[in-house]
Amino acid sequence: MRVATASTRAQFAEIARSRALALAAAGAVVIGTVATFAPSGVNLGSILERANLGMRKPASVLAFSSPLALRQHFATIGYDLDAVRTGATSVPRIFLARVPAGLADVTHTTHRKDVFLRVMLPLVLEANERVQQQRAQLLVMDAKLAAGQPLTGEQQDRLGAIAAEYDLDPDRIDLLLRRVDAVPPSLALAQAAIESGWGTSRFILEGNAVFGQWAWGDEQGLVPNGREAGKTHKIKSFQLLTDSVRAYVHNLNTHNAYRDFREKRLMLRAEGKQLAGMALVPTLGAYSELKGQYLDLLRSIITANDLQPLDGARLHDGPALQATDV
């Protein structure tokens, strides 16, 4: 395994700068990037990890000048939801920093929904990918311990970090495996649509708040209009859409209110079934004060927008951004 040297990091920085210039010329506003191409035989993820440059953010974070520019870019790179639904293509690693300005002004409802879903799907898959990587590590460690083999120091450190993130004892890998798992994309997309008004709410436009999570005290957030006197909650805001989606997945995976969600998901795993959003809808009555009406709305959105096939969607294995004209 190679370790990042000063020259290697300089090489990656130069690649990043070159790609930033290309993106700017193409009409994309670069919010922040790290290198997405590594020389042959070099594991960029390992290098960044060893250099303490952990991949907390996606490899490329972009914002486009308008919904039309974004739709044109999607068409250029062949990002089509129908093709994703049939499994004919994977989802490009395009992670936007925010929804494009003017999305609320798109009068064609189908076009507005299409842009929103194509913006959100890669973000949901990225959040799930991160969780699934953690889960894979836990399964390896669990099998190793079951075979009577001790964990390496590195594995112990990794286990401790995962346990701390999910607020559990590192000795209970069985309980961790209940929490460290994916959220079906169809369910996440339906909730995102409801909570953000298909990407048009004040909370998502001003604070990247996709899922309406609450915040208190010193946490960053937006005060809801018409908040009742004496109430102190805010709608939690985020620097990037990526942060909002990851926080949503973590919320479902850790909050006591969603224990039924995790138990049902565990049951689906035990039965060897796909994690289907529609199967998990009944477990989310606590997400909204609307209770049963909220669940009916989730089902309606999943069905009307043909989201169920997206539960099988996968991210493209290639680079995080295609630098094409927009």
**Is the pTM here over 0.85, yes or no?**
no
Query: Does CATH number 3.40.718.10 belong to domain 128-312?
Result: no
- Residue 257 DSSP symbol: G
Q: Are 18 and 321 in contact (CB under 8 A)?
A: no
Q: Are 213 and 194 in contact (CB under 8 A)?
A: no
pLDDT in tens, the chain (326 residues): 334 444 444 444 444 444 444 343 333 433 333 333 333 343 434 433 433 333 444 455 455 778 988 999 899 999 999 999 999 999 999 999 889 888 989 989 999 999 999 999 999 999 999 999 999 999 999 999 999 999 999 999 999 999 999 999 999 999 999 999 999 999 999 999 999 999 998 889 998 999 978 665 666 666 665 656 666 567 888 999 999 999 999 999 999 999 999 999 999 999 999 999 999 999 999 998 888 999 999 999 999 999 999 999 999 986 655 322 23
Number of H helices, E strands in the chain: 13, 6
Phi, psi of 101 (to 5 degrees): -60, 140
Q: What type of residue sits at position 76? A: T
Q: What is the pLDDT of residue 319?
A: 63
In whole angstroms, give the CA distance from residue 53 to residue 116: 30
Q: What is the pLDDT of residue 290?
A: 86
| Pairing mode of beta strands 60-64, 28-33 | antiparallel
In whole angstroms, give the CA distance from residue 242 to residue 98: 9
Q: Where are the domains of the chain?
A: 128-312
3-state secondary structure of 61: strand
Contact partners, residue 258, CB within 8 Å, separation at least 6 = 251, 252, 283, 284, 286, 287
How wide is the angle at C-alpha 186 spanned by C-alphas 180 and 191, nearest 5°? 85
Question: 105: buried, middle or exposed (CB in 10 Å: 19+, 13-18, 0-12)?
Answer: exposed
Q: Are 57 and 48 in contact (CB under 8 A)?
A: no
Q: What is the pLDDT of residue 234?
A: 72
